[in-house]
Chain A
Amino acid sequence: MTKETKNPSIDRVDGRMKVTGGANYFADFELPSMAYCVLVGSEIARGTISSLDTKKAQGAPGVLGVFTHQNMPPIPGWDAPIGGQADGPPPKPKTEETYRILSSPKILFDGQPIAIVVADTYERATYAASLVKATYAKQASRTDLSKHVAEGIAPGGSGDYSRGKADAHQTAPITLEANYTIPIEVHNPMELHGILAHWTGPDKLMIYAKTQGVNATQNAMAQAFKLDPKNIHVHTEFMGGGFGMGLRTWPQETAVVAIARKIGRPLKLVMNRSQMFTLVGHRPYTVQTIRMGADQTGKLVSINHAATAETARYEDFTEATVNMTKFMYACPNVSTRYRIVRLDRSVPIWMRGPGEATGAFALESAMDEMAHKLNLDPIEFRLRNYTETDPEHNRPYSSKNLREAYEKGADAIGWNNRKPQPGSLREGNWLIGYGMSTGVFNAFRWEASARALLKADGSLTVQSAVTDIGPGTGTALTMIAHNVLGVPVEKIKVEYGDTSLPKAPSQGGSAIVSAVGSAVFDACTAIKQALIELAVKDGSSLAGRQADELTLANGILSVEKEPGKKLTVSELMQVNKLTVIDRTKESKAGPDHQKYSMYSFSVHFVQVRVNPLTGVVRVAKAVSVADSGRIISPKTAASQMIGGVAGGIGMALTEEAVIDHRFGRFVNNNFADYHVAVHADVPAIETIMIDKPDPIINPMGAKGMGEIALIGFAGAVANAVFNATGQRVRDLPITPDKVMQKLV
């Protein structure tokens, strides 16, 4: 029974495969007569191609074709006048442009593919791609959001929010107004993006993709090529990191599929690192303003949170940047406003923690600023505004143990050592500071299905189409199956990442343990019921016992009251002439879910060391506490938190994709100049799991934690830097120049 007892730590079930090269990623697959695609990107951000010379490329050794807007094979499903995404609804209000890859000479963003070169080897395709030469009629481009904030438009679907009085902060005894900026951040997983497309018949397609959802890719391709999804087989067992960039099918993937059909050979595209900055989304540059009011007792009077983010001219991307503000604290007057500005940029996409991480940086920095104004400890200020019910929806939380999380995290970091007066703690040349921040993210439970097959030899196979993007999905599903059926972990095999398996949602939104885990739970429970029914029926050695008297563990059915009375599962199956018990279950949230607000919570604590002369900030210690229901797999859960914190350190201190706005073009689109946090930036990270089951969300009581691992972390660092130095940095990343003090 998973809900009541804590789970033991098991090793990542696919860990050995991953470190020995046994795990196959999309680009590992090789097919006979496979050819390679290389993309040629535009060198301007806005304008029109005036000439395109592909002659030299076509004549280069091994070249099978050069595809441009002049000869690109049609993509039949793209004839409908929709807003750029083959599988998406038209945007409202209508965008001024539509982006259809290689369909027109018009350039909508820098790096937009202007040609796809196909050759028999990757190297030859790369060389030929360098021979494609374009000239452009260039137009002035707009890529700098900070210059166009006033032009924000209200996107369709997400209206402004308000409760209480919108202008309450004007009359609050203590007020705060501050602007916060998040730069463009790029997911930059280790694994490069791409696709391997193979037409196995005139209308049959096999795809090895880098996608966070094989079913989503299957549907997108079915629409693009007007095929029955049944005829499209998508395989993505493993992903070398996704962080959100694999949550949609990108136009260049669809183009490769179309070209593969035309050329009649399997085609592989592996993009290069600089293309990862423009063609697979990013966290949008976002500017935020928070106005906050509080009274002398430390109670919030009002919060007003406005955010403006960039998007493309051809597609509206929106995310939940301001949502946390609506329900995080007990505050009578709250209003939020979210706007987007269409620029000559490629479209963003969710990046781990997505908008909530952007919003949390602003809100949790502002909470710290206000606590300082009130001369209150930042935790105490949060506790004075703690809410046991969701003030946005006026309903209870399904579970919330945030008080305990504050307490445990504070203990672990040594919060008692913190001095309220900034700049009070010093060790040699270094100032020491402590900071904390809260994170929160929806606990979703999407519809999912899974199949479980118990064999007479006692082994169990669990199947679901879900892709493992790295968090340990296979390990968690193994644990859930083990908890229901008592099959030893080493006798459980999880098969996933393939459309031939039962449908599952995309791996994203911290939802997979809850969604797919529930389906696995249900399928295994169905097997257990079948076993017990067989065990108690006439003729069985356990005949006549009540179903609920039986326990099942390690392949043995027993009756607690009758020690020694045992029946093995294999005996039972043999007697009943069964080689396998096979159950498939669809699982989804019940109607009860409407009565509750379901969230996972986190609290991040950091100790920073700051050199006031050089402005260097080091995260010396980090403690992250997760309140995300019952923890299914403690080891991979901790690992997921650690990964989120490492990402959070990058967000806080180092990551920023820089555009030279004169050209609308990135100047640091490589791993030397775009600074992902490296080992030296990341200290030992302590993770603490509250590990209390959520009674409502699902039968395991488990909620997701992929996003909360990151959400809030950057705020904790900024707050610690303030505590160390008295310098409030509101623009990420916190680089040395923003912290150093002027001496000479």
Chain B
Amino acid sequence: MNPFQFTRATTPKAAISAITKESGTYFLAGGTNLIDLMKREVIIPERLVDINKLPLATIEKTASGLRIGAMAKNSAVADHELVKKHFPLLSMALNAGASAQLRNMATVGGNLMQRTRCSYFYDTSMPCNKRGPVQAGPDKGKPNGPSGCGAIGGFNRMHAIFGSSSKCIAVHPSDMCIALAALDATVNVSGPKGDRRIPFSEFHRLPGELPQKDNTLLPGELILSVDLPTNRFADHSHYLKIRDRASYAFALVSVGVGLDMKGGMIQDVRLAMGGVAHKPWRLFEAEQFLKGKEATEVNFKQAAALAMKDAKGYGENDFKLTLAPNSIIDALKTATKTA
């Protein structure tokens, strides 16, 4: 790990001004991902601004739903009574992620900001387009390791089947974000140019030609909180995570589902998938199809088939073309209690 400066901010304003002042500066929240990246020299910061003292950890009811502070710990959110009662999908997704120790450290804002776990991104001797140039220090601006996408033609068992580009096929690793995508969250941010609200589906981005950029935050922006609108999905929510071991592993495929049911009929539904794309992947077409339909295996199969329309495998991850629709069906069965 390289030497870096360490400062602590106590107000969002001070934090934003500290990060805007000099390039190569990073916010440090729970540190569960950034510290690893620093150890592996994937990110080489000049300066860290510790934001753990910011008063942003509140979880509170609002007129339209729930507001979760960016600095709320993952475990605190997962265990919160309002979350468990009204947004169980979020609680389930959080508890499916990482380990208890990590959830006690990791924050909501940090979870949104976590980088992909692609092996090639982490190994600076391997090709990767996502790392971009060295961010700080004497080598600033030089390429941080060879360019190209190592995962294309390489170990891509964990990689994307939707929305990838020739530059990058990495996936977003978060479980929490799958629930937030399904639950139509909004991200509240503040920056040098003021505050703004970002709809969750516009927060993360696809790799395209710029895989270095995971999200649409502008330079200097700080996540303040996440808003969840009230919904009627609490009784029929399920987060299904398929992984290579029962706990503490990233998703091969995950499915977040929330339904509003009346009798056997689906009034409304939200579906999102993890482990399949560079961003949390909403299944809009499948949702549209299921609305107003009966909760039957036949309908679930059709919805799953619709969801897979544009899927593309890269060899080792071809199995996801089967696992993903199967998982959608399995998750829908569980959530509708038709299993």
Contact = CB atoms under 8 A, between A and B. Distances in A.
A615 interface: yes
Contacts of A126: 1
B198 interface: no
Contacts of B305: 744
Given A614-B327, A660-B154, A743-B329, A673 B117 contact: yes
B18 interface: no
A672 interface: yes
Interface stretch (B61-69, B245-253, B262-270): B245-253
B329 A744 contact: yes
B246 A662 contact: no
Interface in A647-675: 653-654, 658, 660, 662-663, 665, 667-668, 672-673, 675
Contact of B323 (A429, A614, A658, A678): A614
B330 interface: yes
A308 interface: no
A614 B330 contact: yes
B31 to A, nearest CB: 15
Interface residues of A, number: 39
Contacts of A429: 330, 333-334, 339
Contacts of B240: 614
A737 to B, nearest CB: 4
Contacts, number: 105
Interface string B232-256: 0000000010101111111010000
A123 B246 CA distance: 34
Given A613-B329, A743-B326, A744-B305, A618 B246 contact: yes
Given A614-B327, A740-B319, A742-B322, A658 B155 contact: yes
B7 interface: no
Contacts of B325: 743-744
Interface string A709-744: 000000000000000000000000101110011111
A99 to B, nearest CB: 21
Given A130-B41, A740-B319, A675 B245 contact: yes
Contacts of B248: 672, 678
Interface in A486-524: none
Given A613-B327, A662-B154, A736 B119 contact: no
Nearest to B246: A680
Contacts of A653: 245
Contacts of B120: 667
A713 B188 CA distance: 52
A662 B153 contact: yes
A679 B126 contact: no
Contacts of A320: none
Instruction: Indicate the member of B246, B304, B327, B329 with the most A CB atoms within 10 Å.
Output: B246
A680 B325 CA distance: 25
A678 B308 CA distance: 32
B123 interface: yes
A253 interface: no
Nearest to A659: B155
Given A663-B126, A667-B154, A678 B242 contact: no
B339 A428 contact: yes
B86 interface: no
B126 A660 contact: yes
A616 interface: yes
Interface string A415-442: 0000000000000110000000000000
A517 to B, nearest CB: 36
B126 A654 contact: no
B74 to A, nearest CB: 16
A681 interface: yes
A678 B125 contact: no
A678 B245 CA distance: 8
B301 interface: yes
Contacts of B125: 43, 663, 665
A667 B154 CA distance: 10
Instruction: Indicate the member of A680, A681, A743 with the most B CB atoms within 10 Å.
Output: A743
A608 to B, nearest CB: 13
A618 B323 CA distance: 17
Nearest to A429: B339
B335 to A, nearest CB: 13
B117 A130 contact: no
B304 A614 contact: no
A217 interface: no
Interface in B264-322: 301, 304-305, 308, 319, 322
Given A127-B1, A429-B333, A678-B247, 8 more contacts: A127-B3, A680-B246, A735-B244, A736-B323, A737-B323, A743-B301, A744-B308, A744-B322
Q: Which 4 A-B pairs have the closest CB atoms?
A: A680-B246, A737-B319, A680-B247, A43-B125
Interface of A: 43, 123, 126-127, 130, 428-429, 611, 613-616, 618, 653-654, 658, 660, 662-663, 665, 667-668, 672-673, 675, 677-681, 733, 735-737, 740-744
25 contacts: A43-B125, A130-B1, A429-B333, A429-B339, A613-B327, A614-B330, A660-B119, A665-B126, A667-B123, A672-B248, A672-B250, A673-B117, A678-B247, A680-B247, A681-B245, A681-B246, A733-B244, A736-B242, A736-B244, A736-B252, A737-B319, A743-B301, A743-B325, A744-B325, A744-B329
